[in-house]
Structure 1
Amino acid sequence: MAPSTKTNRDNVNSSKPKKQLKLFAFEMGTSGLQSPGLWKHPKDHSRDYNTLEYWTSLSQLLERGKFNGLFIADVLGPYDVYNGPKNFTAAATSGAQFPNIEPSALISACAAVTSNLAFGITFSTISEAPYHFARRLATLDWLTRGRIGWNVVSSYLDSAARNLLNGEDLPPHSERYQRAEEYIEVIYKLFLSSWADDAVELKDGVFSNPDKIRQINHKGKWFEVPGPFISEPNPYQRLPVIIQAGTSSAGKNFAAEHAEVVFVTQFAPEALAKSITEIKKIALEKFGRPDGSIKFLQLITPIIGATQEEAESKYQEYQSYGDIEGAQALFSGWTGIDISQYQYGEDITAVGTNAVKSFLDLWNKKAPGEPEHVKKTREHVAKQITIGGLGPVFYGTAEKVADEIERWVGISDLDGFNITYAVQPTTFEEVVEVLIPELRKRGLVWDDYPNIGRPLSFREQLFGVDREDSSFLLETHPAHKLRWRAGESKEEFEARLNKKRSIEGVED
């Protein structure tokens, strides 16, 4: 999508205070990520995704640019919807998010070469038992001194479910979210309600005081977890940041209740504004979470040139390396609709199912030189996906891209951006060296991390350092009251928990 010829000052009230944006890099342990086939570009290094040097150098680059964090996506199976069920040929041939590596294994190395950069990792609630996963999260949050967030997903690929659920297909969407609700409930209990803040005493020959440790005794539909948790509480965040990216009705409800960060992607800021408003409304009316308690980040791919013509030429060059088959494999996996059922030249919005029509109604992604209105054919959609996937591409000079960023924020009330690459590391280098200085000049991003004498926690990256206990959950988060605080006896804590459940009408 080309930056608008109108700046943000033409589209929004210039007297409105500028929001300081949050910037995250969007990555995955694979090649190409949102731009299938670009691993063939001579400047692209994403093929090196399975080396530590790839990740440590990226982390250092991002911290030099004062990014808030690095978010690592994940999938647990190949995209095998395109060209018939269980057919992963296109994904394998193009390298479309296949193969890939497990995201949490990278974090310790990245944290060791940075001081403030936060790390969001994606894990599915069908991937492993919550008790085991909670220990993984706790370990990473200790080792990074509170710089970890968990992107909660319920999975969308049957290929993943077949390998994780004893050969069964993915459960229905509503059931997956019900399971995710119970899964995160177990995580909360393990992190917040099993150990008191002061349970580790390290005095008079006592390491941990057993009177300050309790079993959670969780018994639910999907999980039975007695506890106690095997990891001690850390003073950095106590609970890693909760991230979510679902946009379905169930996903929005889950985000409104639990998420501290929501990753979103739309092709127009007006549609984005509607989605953000819906989640904020549910959060306030249903869960008592006011505006500002959830941060919203939009996916974008910036392509920057010294001139508009250079940026457009670069876009077209990149697109020439794109893999059309890989793009169709990704589209079919993301939507669950096998796009091969349509002819290349057919207008899918005229002949497609209601599901694909509603999806493409919002599609206004446009490459340089394309007319304003083109048929949304299978060929057109696939070609568009080769650069930036399901997110818009902002191409132009740094000034034009910054104008477009301001326009989107002004219209949608976004809190920041999840920036992904076309060519790695070139895209991120251009953002750090050219785009961020322009954003900084406009007062849209900070000059440096706040100096507080210690690393910033992930939560402080999002909500600042001005609150007392600034690394812990906001008071309006539903899990805030589950924390067993220092000086509170087991009996006092359990009485408080029981009172909370009674008020909320919750039964164990």
Structure 2
Amino acid sequence: MTSSPHAQARPLRFNAFVMNTASHIQHGQWRRPDARQHEFNDVDLWIEVAQTLERGAFDALFLADVVGVYGPVGGNYTVNAREGLQLPNNDPSVLLGALATHTTHLGLAFTSSILQAHPFEFARRVSTLDHISRGRVAWNIVTSFQESAARNFGLDRLGDHDSRYDQAAEYLDVVYKLWEGSWDDDALLRDKAGAFSDVDGIHRINHEGEHYRVEGPHLSSPSPQRTPFLFQAGSSPKGRQFAGTHAEAQFVGGSTPEQVRTIISDTRDVAVAQGRGPDDILFYVALSFIIGSTEEEAKRLEREYDEYASEEGFLAHANLGVAQDDGTPYPPDTLLRDITTNGNRSTLASVTHSIEGREPTVRDLGELSAKRHIRVVGTPDQIADQLHDWRAAGVDGVNVVNWVLPGSYTDFVDHVTPVLQDRGLQQREYAPGSLREKLTGSALTNERHPSAKYRGAFR
């Protein structure tokens, strides 16, 4: 495996992992008296969260998204509605436009599927957000895993797993051409005595592929980052190859630092095989935190959270469309290796990695769904000890999963962040520049990234 000169002394990166919905990950917690996620339609809640994160020097607010409901195709979504399980939910990119005007440094990341937006429209929307935020936008690239999402966009069904990644590669090819190649750096003149733009510096891309035909030119002038900072989450072999080629940051699953270390090492090898450097990708793990002034208090709080947990919500979320051909659920004792799914293989892989010494089953998928994001329970010093171990395994950043909004982030910033900063595990202040500059030191994707080949390609 490729060894990496990754600097372990570097502070960890921290994102708030949220969704513009009432129940994102920790189902049932919106019913707590101190929870305000039921107010998710109120932009003031999100402004408060974003400003709290910026006060704590978090790197980004990261908004997840789905464009379908969890469960078998045509199935009943009574549980989804009752538990607020990502139903209803709102468009994250619209919310980020509002948050950009109430923050200065915080990165603004959102999920968008290749299924839901044509690449020409999506490229302009992202460039607009990057202009509004002065270069703080990131995109989490997904291919969608819900059959209901495919039906919402006029398809009979999702394409098979690997073919969706092939389509995603072409989607990226189109948006790279628009973001990087359609406008020269000096084409925007804004000369009041002459031309607003130099027509010779604005180019059609004339893309013709299997899935898309786009003439261009890009309607937005170059934004601060041109290409937004790129996240990706796939853990299947195809997904890992895709991440090794395109991602600047990848979300990785695994229940222990050692499991994550192996995934990171393998993906670095893929990146090197694609002509990139072993440190061209940052790796993030999802963790939730229960913070107490003493270990006993933290454990008491954990019991309180568990009392509010919605078992039905977790089981519905864990389903991920995994059902037999007739739409009925698999029997609980079905081995996961016997399941053929066109859906979210990353979650199945994560559960498989979490079970040692025996074959995981569908029952494990349900039971572990409530713990699919690892809990870190303890005092701020104990939490810092565990985060040190994750960093030592090669993890670059943490997606902080909340229990309640805004309290989970207020508590983290007020009690954990100072300890992490004293230990060099979290930044004290923001570096200047765009999100990419803050995270990597580079204003644009580096020369090894596939987007770079389109700079100057259409002159």
TM-score over 0.5 for the pair: yes
Provide the aligned C-alpha RMSD in A: 2.3
Q: What are the residue-to-residue correspondences of 1:287-366 with 2, within 5 Å?
A: 287-333=274-320, 340-342=329-331, 348=333, 351-355=334-338, 360-363=351-354
Task: Report whether the alignment pairs 1:401 with 2:390.
Answer: no
Match for residue 229 of structure 1 among 199, 215, 218: 218
TM-score (norm 1): 0.82
| Residue matched to 2:451 | 479
Cα distance in 2 for partners of 1:64, 1:145 equals 19
Q: Which amino acid aligns with 1:123?
A: S
How far residue 426 of structure 1 moved from its aligned partner, in angstroms, is 1.6
SS in 2 for 1:262: strand
Structure 1 residue 353: deviation in Å?
Answer: 3.9
- Residue matched to 2:408: 427
For residues 350 and 190 of structure 2, what CA distance do their matches in structure 1 show?
57
> Does the 8 Å contact 1:32/1:422 carry over to 2?
no
Structure 2 distance, partners of 1:158, 1:60, is 36
Instruction: Pick the aligned partner of 1:133 from 101, 122, 131.
Output: 122
Task: Say which of 432, 439, 448 aligns to 1:462.
Answer: 439
Contact 1:26 1:70 in 2 (8 A): yes
Secondary structure (helix, strand or coil) at the match of 1:208 reads: coil
Q: Which residue of 2 aligns with 1:274?
A: 262
Shift of 1:478: 1.9
Distance 1:374 1:282, change over 3 A: closer
Quote the Cα distance in structure 2 between the aligned partners of 1:377 and 1:40: 30
Distance in 1 (CA, whole Å) between partners of 2:374 and 2:410 is 19
Are 1:21 and 2:12 matched, yes or no?
yes
CA change 1:240–1:477 in 2 (3 A) is same
**Which residue identity does 2:43 align to in structure 1?**
L
> CA-to-partner distance for each residue in 1:287-344, whole Å, 9 max, x for gaps?
211122111110010111111111111111111111111111110117668895435x
Cα gap change, 1:340/1:40 in structure 2, threshold over 3 Å: closer, same or farther? farther
* Alignment gaps of 5+ in structure 1: 1-15, 366-372, 465-469, 485-492, 496-508
Question: 1:87 and 1:415, CA in 2 relative to 1: closer, same or farther beyond 3 A?
Answer: same
Question: Which residue pairs with 1:505 in the alignment?
Answer: none
Residues in 2 aligned to 1:375 and 1:217: alpha-carbon distance in whole angstroms:
50
Question: What is the aligned partner in structure 1 of residue 188 from structure 2?
Answer: 200
Contact kept? 2:336, 2:360, Cα under 8 Å:
no
* Partner of residue 369, structure 2: 385
1:95, distance to aligned residue in structure 2 (A): 1.3
| AA at the equivalent of 2:377 | Y
Match of 2:131 among 142, 154, 162: 142
Structure 1 residue 444, shift from structure 2 partner? 1.2
Q: What are the superposed Cα offsets for residues 105-152 of structure 1, whole Å, 9 maximum, x if unpaired? A: 111221111110011110000101110111100100000000001111
- Deviations for 1:14-71, whole angstroms, at most 9, x for unmatched residues? xx85221111110111112111111111111111111111111110000000001111
Q: Which amino acid aligns with 1:460?
A: E
Instruction: State percent identity of aligned pairs.
Output: 35
- Give the direction of change, closer, same or farther, for the CA distance of 1:104–1:360 in structure 2 (3 Å limit): closer
Alpha-carbon displacement from aligned partner over 1:420-446 (angstroms, at most 9, x marks no partner): 101222211111011111111111112
Post-superposition CA distance 1:394-426 (Å, at most 9, x none): 11111111111111221x201010101012222
Question: Is the 1:194–1:227 contact (alpha carbons within 8 Å) kept by the matching residues of 2?
Answer: yes
The separation in 1 between residues aligned to 2:331 and 2:401, in whole angstroms, is: 29
TM-score (norm 2): 0.91
CA drift at 1:494 = 4.2
| Structure 1: distance between partners of 2:203 and 2:18 | 38
8 Å Cα contact 2:322/2:329 also seen in 1: no
Distance in 1, Cα, partners of 2:291 & 2:364: 23
Query: Can you list the C-alpha shifts for 1:223-279, whole angstroms capped at 9, x where unaligned?
Result: 000111111112x21221111111111111111011111112221111111111111
| Residue identity matched to 2:445 | L
Counterpart AA for 1:271: Q
Residue 103 of structure 1 deviates from its aligned partner by 0.3
One-letter code aligned to 2:401: T
Check conservation: 1:24, 1:69, Cα contact below 8 A. Answer: yes
- From 445, 448, 451, the equivalent of 2:426 is 445
CA distance in 2, matches of 1:75, 1:395: 29
Higher Cα radius of gyration: 1
SS at structure 1 position matched to 2:17:
strand
SS at match of 2:255: coil
Q: Which runs of 5+ in 2 are unaligned?
A: 1-6, 340-347
Report the equivalent of 1:174: 162
Alpha-carbon spacing, 1:265–1:173, altered in 2? closer, same or farther (3 Å): same
How many residues of Structure 1 are paired with residues of Structure 2 in the alignment? 442
Provide the C-alpha distance between the structure 1 equivalents of 2:249 and 2:338, rounded to a whole number of angstroms.
27
In the alignment, the residues of structure 1 paired with residue 323 and residue 60 of structure 2 have an alpha-carbon distance, to the nearest angstrom, of 30
Quote the residue 1:106 is aligned against: 95
